[in-house]
Amino acid sequence: MSKELQRYLLTRFGQFLLIIFVAVSINFIIPRLLPGDPVQTALARLQTAGGAQNVDIQAVSASYRAKYGLDAPLIEQYFNYWMDLFRLDLGVSFANFPEKVSTMIANALPWSVGLLATATLIAFVTGSLLGARLAWPGAGRGIKTLVPMMMILTSIPFYLLAIILIYFFAVVLRWFPPAGGVDTTRIMRMDWETTADVLNHALLPSLAIILGNIGFWALGMRSQMINVLGEDYITFAEAKGLPQRRIFVWYGMRNALLAQVTALALSLGHVVSGAILVEVIFNYPGLGSLLYVAIRGQDYFVIQGVVLMLIVALAVLLFIVDLIYPLLDPRIRR
Amino acid sequence: MNRFFVSLRRNYEQGRISGILVLGLAILIAVVLFGAIGSLFVDPINATVGAVRPRRPPGGDYFLGTDSQGRDMWTLLIYATPNTLKMGLIAGFIGVGFGTVLGLIAGHFGGVADAIIRVISDALLTVPAIAVLVVIAGNIDRMSTLIMAMVVASLGWMFTTRTVRAQVLSVREKAYVEVARVNGEGPWEILFAEIMPNIMPYIVASFVGTVSGSILAVIGLEALGLGALEEMTLGNTIYWSQQSSAVLRGYWWWWGPPIVVIALIFIGLFLTSVGFDRFANPRLARR
């Protein structure tokens, strides 16, 4: 490993740690900046929201007070907060007392990761291929008409696309289920029927995410390809008489993809934000819906836990993209 | 005024004012006028809960139908559109103002200030905005459109800072800045009198982007039920329609029109920003 690569990886790792540090600190500070006792406020709101009729408020409040040590000095509270995080202890849900927040997140996470990872990957790959094709001078008239359509799809928030998709494909045509992750009566097993059911439910939400993102990748790739195709090495490759296909893929697309990967890293936050709302609209059993239910029920520590989880997951993803980058760009590897 | 039109015409003939820019601005103006002119003809009382007969489809007495709480959708839409635009504009102004100042400082003075600003803005850029905004908005007791705009602006300055910083770095090496320095102008005077006017196009361009991002965030938060629920806004309309399962019950006139208006706003902003890029950067226009 060369000096430059080491330096690159170290800065990226530092950035990764910094994001996590900032996120945890924000999550710690915001509730404490507000006047009043956070536990009291949360419980009072919970009661007005009507989510806690069956819960012994005294017991919940006592357990929180003991655990968070709200009487201790702030710096000690901050230290305890970090210690709890390292033990993956995110507290207990108010609304589903005494279920652990970490268990709730662990149950929801696979749904979100499965939906988002697949949809983003499909959108990225097909969008990039389509964009590259659009930039090629030989692109036909038919494919060119896709550009304005892409622009429209990109500019509409994709959770609104989700509403339109549900209406047409689940309410009017009844081709797909309108909500949920599986049939409510299904017992989860590792067999073909369960898989088919899960896929059937995942199709519409993933379609919303794919449709909403594909234009972004296609337009980005198109403008990158136009830049790359103007470079001298492309002219040189043509002068050498290389086959068009080879120039297109190995000289054009390979270089244009670098900027796409950077854009992927920068837009992941945006994609995740939109996907949260898509999950809410489809009532999909992932982190987004968990967050929504928690907001509705003022379930304070679930909100904090999910938000923290989202930020950390995104930081990890970004770090992975950063690790992949040197494999694509030999200039960093050198 | 005459000079303005002459320069407008020259720009048009040089192909700097593209059809895209004109179309984008036209859509935005149409949306603004819809709210401004519409409010002259409808009575806001019809958009309050229980004012009209609930769940009527479009047609007849109610042009766009009514929702299940007895609000007239047409009236609601006319009052909700300017409110949503207002939040986006306020958040855009705050975000771009803050971002510009930080970008100018980071680019012009460099050193420790630059390092701190760059690290924080890079870190915040990668965080999913809605997650942080949910925590902030969820902790605010009395939400209003102004507070909502400020909450959203708190994460709407990073792109401006990046753009402005990069531009300052290139502009400050130019000869005229050097001349000003030799003439004895102070660092602040150089910054605001020499550098800032020259990067104005980039600031305006990032304003369009920031407004668009702010409206997106506002509608997202409102759709989650974190907005000022008693206000008439497009995001709240989506929220209430979701709460009443309007999609599954087939009340398309409840969620359809707000989606169309939201789509028009975003398409208008998108076209304006693409068109403005070509205006600010004439090399793009030749493509």
**Mean pLDDT of the region A154-167:** 86
Q: Which of A166, A266, A272 sits opposite B247 (nearest CB)?
A: A166
Q: Identify which of B165, B169, B190 has the alpha carbon closest to the alpha carbon of residue B179.
A: B190
Lowest mean pLDDT among A17-26, A143-152, B37-46: A143-152
**pLDDT given for residue B79 in this prediction:** 92
The yes-or-no verdict on residue B285 having pLDDT over 70 is no
From CA A213, how far away is CA A158, in angstroms rounded? Answer: 8
Which tokens sit at B35? 């709210």
Asked if A30 lies within 8 A of B252 by C-beta distance, the reply is no
Residue B83 has pLDDT above 80, yes or no: yes
- Closest-CA distance of chain B to residue A322, Å: 12
* Total CB pairs under 8 A between chain A and B: 130
pLDDT at residue A47 greater than cutoff 70: no
Using the Cβ of B287 and the Cβ atoms of chain A, whether some distance falls under 8 Å is answered with yes
pLDDT, average across residues B130-145: 80
Cα–Cα distance between A152 and A171 in angstroms, integer?
24
State how far residue A83 is from chain B, nearest Cα, in angstroms: 21
Interface probe, candidates A273, A312, A322, chain B, greatest B C-beta count within 10 A: A273
Q: Which of B125, B134, B252 sits opposite A295 (nearest CB)?
A: B134
One DSSP character per residue, A65-89 reads HHHHTTTS-HHHHHHHHHHHHHTT-
Instruction: Quote the pLDDT of residue A64.
Output: 67
pLDDT at B210: 93
Output the pLDDT for position A134.
85
Rounded average pLDDT over A12-37: 77
Residue window 208-237, chain B: list those with CB within 8 Å of chain A: 216-217, 219-220, 223-226
Q: pLDDT: is B95 or B194 the higher one?
A: B95
Does the structure show a pLDDT above 60 at A52?
no
pLDDT class for A255, splitting at 50, 70, 90?
confident
Confidence of residue B60 (pLDDT cuts 50, 70, 90): confident
Q: Cα dist. B120→A150, A194, A310, A320, B123 in Å?
A: 33, 45, 19, 20, 5
For residue A334, what pLDDT is reported? 55
User: Is the CB of residue B86 less than 8 Å from the CB of residue B264?
Assistant: no
Reported ipTM: the value is 0.82
Q: State residue B268's pLDDT score.
A: 93
The residue ranking higher by pLDDT, B53 or A218, is: A218
Q: Under a CB-based contact definition with an 8 Å cutoff, are residues B134 and A303 in contact?
A: yes
Chain A neighbors of B266, CB-CB under 8 A: 155-157
**Across the interface, do B128 and A157 touch by the CB < 8 Å criterion?**
no
**B-chain residues within 8 Å CB-CB of A163?**
238, 247, 255, 259
A334 to chain B nearest CA, in Å? 25
Confidence of residue B142 (pLDDT cuts 50, 70, 90): confident
pLDDT in tens, A102-136: 889 988 889 998 898 899 999 999 999 988 888 87
Which among A22, A31, A292 has CB closest to B224?
Answer: A292
> Using an 8 Å Cβ cutoff, are B150 and B94 in contact?
yes
Asked if B267 reaches chain A (Cβ–Cβ under 8 Å), the answer is yes
Q: With beta carbons less than 8 A apart as the criterion, state whether B253 and B57 touch.
A: yes
**For residues A314 and A103, what is the distance between their CA atoms, to the nearest angstrom?**
20
Stated pTM of the model: 0.85
pLDDT of residue A126: 93
* Secondary structure of residue B59 in the 3-state scheme: strand
pLDDT tier at A72, thresholds 50, 70, 90: confident
* Token pair recorded at residue B66: 């009514």
- List the one residue out of B206, B4, B198, B216 whose CA is nearest residue B97: B206
Name the band, by pLDDT with cuts 50, 70 and 90, for residue B7: confident
Q: In the predicted model, is pLDDT for residue B228 greater than 60? A: yes
Residue A310's pLDDT is 85
User: How many residues are listed for chain A in this entry?
Assistant: 334
Say yes or no for a CB contact (<8 Å) between A295 and B242.
no
Q: Which of the four pLDDT bands, split at 50, 70 and 90, describes residue B287?
A: very low
Cβ of B123 and A163 within 8 Å?
A: no
Inter-chain touch B129–A273, beta carbons under 8 Å: yes
- Average pLDDT of the residues of chain A: 81
**What distance in Å separates residue B62's CA from the closest CA in chain A?**
22
Give the pLDDT score at A332: 66
pLDDT value at B183 more than 60: yes
**pLDDT, tens digit, 9 for 90 and up, residues B205-222:** 899 989 999 999 999 999
Residues 6 or more apart whose CB falls under 8 angstroms from that of A83 comprise: none
Residues of chain B with C-beta less than 8 angstroms from the C-beta of A37 = none
Angstrom distance (rounded) from CA A110 to CA A114: 6
Distance from the Cα of A308 to chain B's closest Cα (Å) equals 8
CB contact under 8 Å between B266 and A155, yes or no, is: yes
CA diameter of chain A: 81
User: Average of pLDDT values for A248-266?
Assistant: 85
Task: Give A245→chain B minimum CA distance, Å.
Answer: 24
- Using one digit for the tens of pLDDT, what is the confidence trace for B13-30? 676 777 888 899 999 999
Q: Quick one: how far is CA B40 from the chain centroid?
A: 25
Minimum mean pLDDT range among A100-109, A142-151, A160-169: A142-151
Interface probe for A, chosen from B27, B120, B125, B135 (most Cβ of A below 10 Å), is B135
Among B127, B136, B225, beta carbon nearest to A23: B127
Tell me whether residues A310 and B266 touch, CB distance under 8 A: no
Q: What is the CA radius of gyration of chain A?
A: 24
Residue A189's pLDDT band (cuts 50, 70, 90)? confident
- Measured between CA atoms, the residue of chain B closest to residue A164 is B256
pLDDT, average across residues A184-192: 74
Identify the CA nearest to B164 among candidates B127, B120, B207: B207
Segment A91-98 mean pLDDT: 74
A223 contacts on B by Cβ (under 8 Å) = none
Say which of A27, A171, A274 has its CB closest to residue B250: A171
User: Minimum mean pLDDT among A55-59, A250-254, B147-151, B271-275: which range?
Assistant: A55-59
Provide the shortest C-alpha distance from residue A54 to chain B (in Å): 24
* pLDDT of the residue at B215: 94
B139 touching chain A per CB within 8 A? yes
pLDDT value at residue A55:
59
Residue A69 CB contacts under 8 Å (≥ 6 apart), including other chains:
A76, A77, A80
